[in-house]
Structure 1
């Protein structure tokens, strides 16, 4: 942990990933964290530790960024802000916004950080920049198609373009890119709650591939936080040599999983129905580079599912059956959403694109 005071700015800081990183950093009283976000977050603003504060602003507004970085004497930036990953925002109709936030916004963050002479920047990306629909087994960070074609969606394409800018931008600032698998955990706002809402309200018969040997990468929020903190500390470490500088790291739980194992207990408990198969492709990546250079050591809490489910207000009883959970739920009314067309699209895209691709 740091030996001197540090002021860290997190773009998209009021989001799930950014906020959890901030909480971890704030445990050191010598660290001040600035949550820089275009939107306030009422659910967290009144319970923030004393050394975390929210500052409203747009990452595309370079002048505002420079002002905030200077006023708060920021030494390091964690750039988690992004757009277009989930739901209707992933539709082609929103591609212009996705391009503006993910590409133009990242360019603005880089320029502002360089002008203020920020020491270190950690950029949060996605494993999907390397996935073009073909099987990947223990993929390495360098195993990325040369072509800029074949992306699953505009979100993946724009994150790839942003990665190229981060690495190409000439700068004395140290920079690292973290490519995340599908993020989950307590109070996660996208994958799991959308799945719960869809199943419990009868909107969607959840579909995923039933092939027992098909595996993809997921990453628990605790491991996401660990990777960001270790990457930041590596970049800010005094000295000329920094192994993490100008590097890309795949960040997952290190245990590729089949979605039948991961989500079937939830579906059976809420609906008791079998799931329809869909065709998809095994793809998972090695985290060896992050282990060696960052000292990244992914772990999962022993009470993984109880913590996650209780965060959504679900009452449950758990027992283990051949390695799987048998779960009973009392689904509260807030989880029963209206059966509107937009929500159905949102659920389908969030679950099928993010989890199954």
Structure 2
């Protein structure tokens, strides 16, 4: 039997490293002197010193080639929220994660850091300063969240000090920043189509938005603090900007920064939620005949009209986490990074 080479603590792999968060994470790891392998279904960029491995997340042999002599794996591959493709979420978030765990164990990986989501405890009703010990949502708001719950459980249950395999989950919320393919482009598209005139509810609901560099910082802190004698083993940590902001104030700052009008007209939350629920039921009934994708789903209405912000106390205590970039600075940097989305561009 061949002697296994002990992985270097500075050798890591980023699964999903071609995505929005993954690429920011790869760039920061390189800056910190790590040797990085990226595993993804596509290669979106080139970076000196970074090795790319292309393959399917459910292909263990392909994964093993990317994990050779790797000490730390960051698993941040996931389909974007908002899709209704249940089989895709199941395949990537659940089946793919099982394969990742098996490959890590076979390759002798010592640490696995999962990108989870704060939404795993969110059921569409208010969460104020939520802590990690909140129960998992019994009625997840969408397929994405349902499979993220399963994924997080798989990763945390795989933690084994006896096997020398330690795991931790990072739960960000509302990630945004330069190169974000979701929040800002969708917001601007809605504004250009005249769909950002209304505020759902009274506009007072507080929400966490988290700058991508702060999320990256939380991941690296988790990897570097994760040891057999640390409190991190098999735990989840909220990582946010730690500055809850009124949802519609945040949206307005981004829109106005890009030259669009801020929403001003109020609609009652109960009315909009009820209409979105009715529309969702109609789409279910008509699905065998016609595909309809409503803009306002019950999930999106809940996200826009309820309080959902989370405590970072555990991350501060166990990781020494402090957000490096303030919310105002983050908004400024993000707006400046989208000149092509400005009004009239």
Shorter-chain TM-score category? 0.7 to 0.9
Matched with 2:130 is: 139
In structure 2, the CA distance between the partners of 1:226 and 1:196, relative to structure 1 (3 Å rule), is: same
Matched, 1:65 2:63: yes
In structure 2, the CA distance between the partners of 1:312 and 1:170, relative to structure 1 (3 Å rule), is: closer
Matched, 1:199 2:203: no
Distance 1:170 1:220 in 2: 28
**Normalising to structure 2: TM-score of the pair?**
0.80
The CA RMSD over aligned residues, in Å, is: 2.1
Matched with 1:83 is: 79
Matched, 1:114 2:105: yes
Matched, 1:53 2:51: yes
Distance 1:184 1:310 in 2: 13
Matched with 2:14 is: 10
Any stretches of 5+ residues in structure 2 without a counterpart? 1-7, 270-304
Q: Write the deviation string for residues 86-133 of structure 1: whole angstroms up to 9, x where unpaired.
A: 4xxx22xx1111111100011000111011110100000111110012
CA contact (8 A) 1:180 1:250 kept: yes
In structure 2, the CA distance between the partners of 1:19 and 1:275, relative to structure 1 (3 Å rule), is: farther
Matched with 2:344 is: 331
CA contact (8 A) 2:252 2:263 kept: no
Deviation at 1:203, TM superposition (A): 5.2
Q: Secondary structure at the match of 2:52?
A: strand
Matched with 1:313 is: 339
> Which stretch of the first structure deviates more once superposed, 4-13 or 274-283?
274-283
Deviation at 1:5, TM superposition (A): 5.6
Matched with 1:103 is: 94
Distance 2:159 2:205 in 1: 41
Matched with 2:307 is: 282
Deviation at 1:295, TM superposition (A): 0.7
Distance 2:79 2:182 in 1: 13
Distance 2:202 2:55 in 1: 45
Any stretches of 5+ residues in structure 1 without a counterpart? 316-328, 333-357
Q: Secondary structure at the match of 1:193?
A: helix
Show the 5 A alignment for 1:153-302. Answer: 153-169=142-158, 171=160, 172=163, 173-200=165-192, 202=193, 204-205=195-196, 207-235=198-226, 240-268=228-256, 269-271=259-261, 274-277=264-267, 279=269, 280-301=305-326
Matched, 1:150 2:139: yes
Q: Secondary structure at the match of 1:142?
A: coil
Distance 2:157 2:13 in 1: 22
CA contact (8 A) 1:13 1:35 kept: yes
Q: Secondary structure at the match of 2:14?
A: strand
Deviation at 1:310, TM superposition (A): 2.3
Deviation at 1:210, TM superposition (A): 4.7
